[in-house]
Amino acid sequence: MARHRTHSIDLKRQVAQDYLAGETLHSLARRHDQSRNLVRIGIQKFEAGAFDNEAGSGDRVPKAGSEARTKAEKRDYIRRHRPRGISVAEGCRLLGIARSTYYDKPATRIDDTALVETMATISDSFEAYGYRRMQAALRHRGFVVNHKNIRRLMREHGLQPRRRRRYIATTDGDHELLIFPNLAKDIVPDGPNQLWVADITYVAITAGFVCVAVMLDAWSRMVVGYAIGRSIDVRLTLAALRSAIEKRKPPPGCVHHTDCGSQYAAGRDRQALAEHSFVGSMKRRGNPYDNAKAESFMKTLKVKAVYLMAYETFENVGADLP
């Protein structure tokens, strides 16, 4: 009776690797004096990870074979044990994972200490930044962080936005002057000088306030005219309008949209609009959404420029804001 022969794990592994490298079953069976069926069984065991018993405990194959492994375990196994004759694509196919999983870089946890230090630096420079702007600023510095984590850290470390506000009304709608209808609500500009929007705001200084009137092109949201003054009256709004006309020279029919304040409803302002063939338009009283683009610009101006500078004099404002 023929004696039963045993083959080492190393030999079985080498046979399977030679097969996967391209050698045929017939050639392998002849070279190693084995039956083709035995060679085939060895290859199947190799693909299932059954020849890894000599590896450390972290590399052992579960009883269920490769199917019981997570994608991360399969990826790590391919990286450490892939034979030279097997490509990455073939190794991923054998273990049932996408090739992109092999190249995936494991996420590394960001140290909260370094993150908070960076957030504090940003907050010192931009004290009005909320969590959304903070997230964008961190991304520019190479930190990709979930917004919920940013909100938590800002709350725990006192980095909430700080805004200095002294509110004062800029719209005097309690008058009997004529009001233009709201034409802007039906206009979607597709080019420049079709719709201009205007608004007025205050800039706080040590001794009081500085008045700023701004004119925007609604299509590009570019500032086309502005004026700075010590008092809020029709002279301020006219100065902003005239600077915009001189700069852009709009065609007849351009819509001039404002709030319904007395400055914009004054006879001198209406006369200037008629002289330059503007079409007047005003938002409804108490509805800031009717002039949202101008309101949004004023908010951005305050947050990104005014609140950060803490102007002291009229001259400071006039030198910096333009």
Note the pLDDT tens digit of each residue in 223-243: 999 999 988 889 999 999 999
* Confidence at residue 280, expressed as pLDDT on a 0 to 100 scale: 93
pTM value? 0.50
| Fold type of domain 184-320 | Nucleotidyltransferase; domain 5 (3.30.420)
pLDDT number for residue 176: 65
* CB of 198 closer than 8 Å to CB of 227: no
Contact call for residues 306 and 201 (beta carbons, < 8 A) = no
Element (H, E) at 209: strand 208-217
pLDDT of residue 82: 82
Distance from C-alpha of 218 to C-alpha of 100, rounded to nearest angstrom = 45
95 and 66 Cβ atoms separated by less than 8 Å:
yes
Rounded (5°) CA angle 252-290-194? 20
- Sign, Cα dihedral of 298, 275, 255, 243: negative
pLDDT for residue 61: 45
pLDDT in tens, 178-212: 889 999 988 999 999 999 999 999 888 888 889 99
Residues in the chain, pLDDT under 50: 1-4, 54-64, 167
Nearest to 66 by CA among 58, 75, 74: 74
Rg over alpha carbons for the chain, rounded to the nearest Å, is 36
Q: Taking the domains of the chain in order of start, what are their residue ranges?
A: 9-103, 112-156, 184-320
For position 56, what pLDDT does the model report?
41
Tell me how far apart the alpha carbons of residues 119 and 134 are, in angstroms, rounded to a whole number.
Answer: 7
DSSP-derived secondary structure letter, 185:
G
pLDDT given at position 58 = 42
Distances (CA, A) of 108 to 72, 105, 111, 137, 145: 14, 9, 9, 20, 11
Q: What gap in Å lies between CA 129 and CA 233, rounded to an integer? A: 33
Residue 63 confidence (pLDDT): 46
Structure tokens at 220: 């590009």
